[in-house]
Amino acid sequence: MKKALKIIGIILLVALVVLQFFPTERNISTTVPETDFMLVNDVPDQIKNKLQVSCYDCHSNNTAYPWYNKVQPVAWFLEDHVKEGKAELNFNEWDSLSNRRKASKLKSMISQIENDEMPLASYTIIHRNAVLSDSEKQDIINFLTELKNKL
């Protein structure tokens, strides 16, 4: 019995090592396009910083990769999130949207933050600095609401 457990353990360990040789596609871009949310809107520094840390990892062309995000299978899990996140909303491509689409996106952002659906709990559990406090949430929501009303 003990021997069997040992064998299973070794197999798992080997599998984990082998997994590391299957790298994921990194979501990294060194340029920020002209259509970026921060470039076309007058965003206060504090909110800028918060959006960057809490949202841009999955909702832009550039993810910050701490070491644990490079380890499999975490990297795979993250890659999926980034793909889905960018399809839903990409801050880098903000200004390529029509006013109708912008209004829709802003409405969704506001309601997602209001209902604590974003940033994802599975993300903030590791990225503690991505957690939004109640006052930070309110600031962001106010800013986004104002932006929506100005469209």
Partner 1 sequence: MKNLKMSIAAMLLLTLSFTNAQEKEKMNHNHGDMKMDGMKMNMEKMNPAAEAVLADYFMLKDALVGDDTKKAAQAGTKLMASLKAFDTKSYTKEEQKELADIIADATEHAEHIAESAIDHQREHFKTLSKDITDMVAITGTKNTLYEQFCPMYDKGSAWLSTSDQVRNPYYGSKMLKCGKVKKTIN
Contact at 8 Å (CB) between 35 and 96?
yes
Cα dihedral 109, 111, 117, 123, rounded to 10, equals 20
**Any contact of residue 83 with partner 1 (CB under 8 A)?**
no
The site map against partner 1 for 88-117 (x = CB under 8 A) is ----------x-xx-xx--x---x------
Query: Which CB sits closer to partner 1, 75 or 118?
Result: 118
Q: Considering only residues 10-69, where is the footprint of partner 1 by CB under 8 A?
A: none
Handedness of CA 119, 123, 125, 127 (dihedral sign): negative
Q: Is 141 exposed, middle or buried (0-12, 13-18, 19+ CB in 10 A)?
A: middle
Query: Which CB sits closer to partner 1, 49 or 104?
Result: 104
Q: Tell me the three-class secondary structure of 78-92, residue by residue.
A: HHHHHHHHHHHCCHH
Closest CB 106 distance from partner 1, rounded Å? 10
What is the total count of residues that contact partner 1 (CB under 8 A)?
7
Closest CB 68 distance from partner 1, rounded Å? 30
Residues that bind partner 1 (CB under 8 A): 98, 100-101, 103-104, 107, 111
